[in-house]
Structure 1
Amino acid sequence: MGRLITTLLAACLSLSAMAADAIKSERQETFGDVTVHYNTFNSTYLQPDIAKAAELIRSKNQGVINVSVIKDGKPLIANVTGTVKDLTSQTVTLNFRQVTEQGAIYYIAQYPVEQQETRTFEIKVQNGDKINTINFNQELFPGE
């Protein structure tokens, strides 16, 4: 199981090469000595066994967002919350789940992707008393 989750993380971080038009490469924001890495993609880019091991729904109408928090080169436990909003301002809460294995900690959540459109993501990362907010837009495409 641990090896499959590690593979999921690697797949998440390298998907931009496989689908340059459908997703953007991994992004990052730095807040003092904490760096937050994040990316989002359609769940059909995951192999079925990896999706199953990570308890993710693999569907052309499901997106995945992956977040990791790093401090001094080491993974950091944080409270990650967020929302994704469409152009009509309809908001979906992102229910992040922490995944910990072999020295890695990351947070994954899924959201619906019904049609091609640009969505606005707001991700809040709290470690200790500090809350950092990341806002970004992403053009999303239903998978195949």
Structure 2
Amino acid sequence: MGRLTLLLLTACLSASALAADVIKGERQETFGDVTVHYNTFNSTYLQPDIAKAAELIRSKNQGVINVSVIKDGKPLVASVTGTVKDLTSQSVTLNFRQVTEQGAVYYIAQYLVEQQETRTFEIKVQNGDKINTINFNQELFPGE
């Protein structure tokens, strides 16, 4: 399963490099001593065996959001929730599920991508009593 983590992270970074509106490098937000790494990409960036192992639907109309929470250089278990809104402010709940393998903990969710558009994501990460919120916009494209 370590291969799954490596390939998911590689897919995230590759998707970032290909998206014109993504700042070079990794997306992250720091809240005190906790850093939240996040990225979203079309599920077709995943190899079929990796998508299957991660229980993700690999389709040109499915996006994936991947979130990891780090404290003192180590993965942190947290509660991750979120929504994605289109330009008409129609909101869809992101159903994150935790994946744990070989010292890595991350949270993944999928959402529908029917057409090219910019969407607004709101991700809430709760660690203990503290809730941190990340908001970002991402231009999305159906895959090939």
Give the TM-score taking structure 2 as reference length. 0.92
Q: Does 1:58 align with 2:67?
A: no
Question: Could you tell me whether the CA contact under 8 Å between 2:21 and 2:138 is conserved in 1?
Answer: no
1:142 CA displacement: 0.4
1:23 CA displacement: 9.7
Question: Could you tell me whether the CA contact under 8 Å between 2:120 and 2:138 is conserved in 1?
Answer: yes
1:53-97 per-residue CA deviation (whole Å, 9 max, x = no partner) reads 000000000000000000000000000000000001111100001
Question: Percent of pairs identical after alignment?
Answer: 91
SS at match of 2:84: strand
1:8 CA displacement: 2.1
Inter-partner Cα distance in structure 2 for 1:30 and 1:19: 23
* Partner in structure 2 of residue 78 of structure 1: 78
SS at match of 2:22: coil
Question: Quick one: structure 1 residues 38 and 111, their matched pair in 2 at CA, closer, same or farther if it must change by over 3 Å?
Answer: same
* Partner in structure 2 of residue 32 of structure 1: 32
Inter-partner Cα distance in structure 2 for 1:116 and 1:20: 13
Structural RMSD (CA): 1.9
Question: Quick one: structure 1 residues 60 and 22, their matched pair in 2 at CA, closer, same or farther if it must change by over 3 Å?
Answer: farther
Q: How many residues are treated as equivalent by the alignment? A: 144
Structure 2 residues without counterparts, runs of 5 or longer:
none
